[in-house]
Structure 1
């Protein structure tokens, strides 16, 4: 996948423009984007309070349904005003939040003979998790496991609970577990420099 730092900066600029347009109820300014931003890809947009670093909104599309630029735009708008965990953002908050964009690889199903082998196929600091069982769905980005110091089994349990399932639902053979990877680009401060987030990778199962 590997996006250049300049492309990561563009991704964050698109997200910021979409959020600002939504907050101010005005058209979003257009962007000229490279060809790969016109290819379908999944992405998440995360909004954090600044300087506290508390989550303010996070919405995304794990599946590559839309061109990347459109995915970022739609996710950014939704993260600002449609995350059910938070009230809609107000214009006066805009200077007190930072924006982060995670560009995702397509989810890949973990196939094991025995569910208890699942943790050995999850690498902390590299993999995100997507859980599906019946109508239940849940997803956790790779950076969550690093921030919360989860081991692979913890990460699987937390992803199951995010889906509304019991923590040990990943041991149920009917539960489908997918991994994906992400390149993460984030503002250092509101509308400030954009950096590539680096995560400490741990070997699977450790």
Structure 2
């Protein structure tokens, strides 16, 4: 678990990484004097909002990099590399709210039959990854709450995020992973 102070540090780190990159074209260094658990490998997403609307979101679902290193990289990616949005400008950063979601390791969900996912997924707690062959889509735990989706809509939208049909979660060969996240924002 990440405490509130460390969570706010990560949010400030994300903002600093974006602003430095947008203004100076350089990637900031990982701070040296940080809590050792912030150097552990963790999955993380940085989400940018402007006027309550999504403005960018990039992340690592798997724990493949030390957390602070990952935050710097995905923060810059959220501002400059989300293909759904134009690049954030330096002036626009004054209007952007930064959110950091630190993830638990995804766990493959096991059910007797696919319809059982509807009872197993906890809305507002579980994030989902839907995987079928080379297709993979992820939605964070806060997304169905923000959009007021029920569990079936959450599954359908995660399937569509993977580029699959909305009901793919009912098919054989589809893997569904769940994870949780701690959310910190400005």
TM-score tier (shorter): over 0.9
Distance of 1:123 and 1:102 partners within structure 2: 17
Task: Say if 2:30 and 2:69, in contact at 8 Å, map to a contact too.
Answer: no
1:55 aligns with 2:67: no
Structure 1 position 149, deviation (Å): 1.0
Task: Say if 1:17 and 1:29, in contact at 8 Å, map to a contact too.
Answer: no
Structure 1 position 57, deviation (Å): 0.4
Distance of 1:10 and 1:82 partners within structure 2: 23
Structure 1 position 26, deviation (Å): 3.5
Task: Say if 1:106 and 1:180, in contact at 8 Å, map to a contact too.
Answer: yes
Task: Say if 2:38 and 2:66, in contact at 8 Å, map to a contact too.
Answer: yes
Number of residue pairs aligned between Structure 1 and Structure 2: 184
1:39 aligns with 2:43: no
Change (3 A) 1:70 1:27: closer
Distance of 2:84 and 2:13 partners within structure 1: 23
**After TM superposition, what 4+ stretches of structure 1 lie above 2 angstroms from structure 2?**
29-32
What does residue range 38-187 of structure 1 map to in structure 2 within 5 Å?
38-49=39-50, 52-187=51-186
Q: TM-score, normalised by structure 2?
A: 0.96
The corresponding residue for 1:26 is 26
1:3 aligns with 2:9: no
SS class of match (1:59): strand
Structure 1 position 113, deviation (Å): 1.6
SS class of match (1:43): strand
